[in-house]
Amino acid sequence: ILKTLNSWFWWENIWMPINCTWADFVDREGLVFPKPHELYATIPYAFVLLIIRFFSERYVAIPLAKALGIKNVRRVKPQPNPVLESYFRECSRHPSQSEIQGLAKKCNCTVHLVEKWFRRRRNLEIPTVLRKFQEAFWRFSFYLTSSIVGFIFLYDKPWFYDIWQTWVGYPFQTLLPSQYWYYMVEIAFYWSLLFTLGTDTRRKADFVAHVVHHLAAIGLMSGSWCGNYLRLGTLVIFVHDTADFWLEAAKMFNYARWEKTCNVLFVIFSITFFITRIILFPLWILRATLYQPTYYSTTPVIAYFLFNGMLLTLQGLHLYWGYLIFKILKRFVFLK
C-alpha cells in the first residue's frame, strides 16, 4: 500500500510539464536541481533553531527587557494538592461555590484556602509579560534577519524585477546555494513554531488561523521545492517576512509600555501589511501563479491547482488578518 501511495504521490503528471520525467532532474553540466529527500534536513535544522532561540531569549531578550523596564514577575505557586490539581486539569479551572465547598470537605481545609489555591493555580497558566516579550523578540529577530538576507539574495536576480522571469527555462532552472539555505531555514522555522505551539503563549482569537498558516506554509514551501518552483517560492517568502518584524517590534514596545513607539511601529506594520499581503501578493504573486503558467502551457499540471489552492488559502488568511488590523486601526484613530 505504501509503495502504491508513494508511486501515486510522485507521478510526473502531478509535478511537472508533459514529456518531463524525474530522470530529467539528475544533476548534470553545471545544473543542480532540488531533491525531495533534502527536505528531511529541515527537521534537525528546526531543533538547531530551537537551541538558538533558547540562548537568544535567555541572554539577549531578558537583558533587553530589563533595559526597557520590563520586570520579571514571580508568581507564588500553590501548595501541591493532587485532588485540586486533578480537578483543575480534568473538570474546571473556575469551580462554582458549591464545588469549592465540596472540594474543601474532600481536602479537609477551608473554602478560603481552596479559592486561594485555584486563584494561584490559574495565575500560573497566564504567561508573564517577560515571557511574551521573549517570544516576540525571537520572531522579530528571525523575520528581520530573513528579510535582510532575502533582499540580499534577491536584489540582483532578474525575477525580482520582472515576474515573467520566474518561468523562463522552467522546469530546468538550477538550484542556487542561496535558494537552498533560504528554503531550508524558512521551513525549519515553521517546523519549530509547530513544535512549540504547546508551550508558546496561546492566543485564542487566531490560534487555529496560525496552525493553518504554519501547515500551509510548510506544505507550500515543501511542494514548491519538489516541483522546482524556487524562484516564485523565494518571492512568496520575502513578501511575507517583510511585514512581520514590524508587528513583533510593536509587540515588544507594547509590553514595555512605550505607547508612542508601539503606535508608530503598528502603523508602519499596517501599511507594510496592506501593501505586501493585500496588494502585492494577489496582483504580483498570484498573477504569476494563476495566469502566467497558462501562457507557457495549455495543459496545467495537477500541482498548478494544488499550489494555487494553498496560495488562495493564504490570501484568505491575509484578508482575515487585514480585517482584524483594520478594526484595531479604526479604534486607534477614532477612539484614541
**pTM recorded for the entire structure:** 0.84
**Residues, the chain:** 336
Q: What is the DSSP string of 130-166?
A: HHHHHHHHHHHHHHHHHHHHHHHHHTT-GGGT-GGGG
Give start-end residues of each CATH 1.10.10.60 domain in the chain: 82-125
164-190 pLDDT, tens digit per residue, is 999 888 888 899 999 999 999 999 999
Q: Cα–Cα distance between 258 and 70 in angstroms, integer?
A: 11
The three three-digit cell numbers of residue 222, written as one number: 515543501
Looking at residue 285, the DSSP 8-state letter turns out to be I
59-102 pLDDT, tens digit per residue, is 999 999 999 888 877 777 777 878 888 888 888 878 888 888 88
Q: Cα–Cα distance between 83 and 103 in angstroms, integer?
A: 8
- Looking at domain 82-125, its CATH class is mainly alpha
Q: Cα–Cα distance between 156 and 143 in angstroms, integer?
A: 21
Residue pair 228/221 in contact by the 8 Å Cβ criterion: no
24-68 pLDDT, tens digit per residue, is 888 888 789 999 899 999 999 999 999 999 999 999 999 999 998
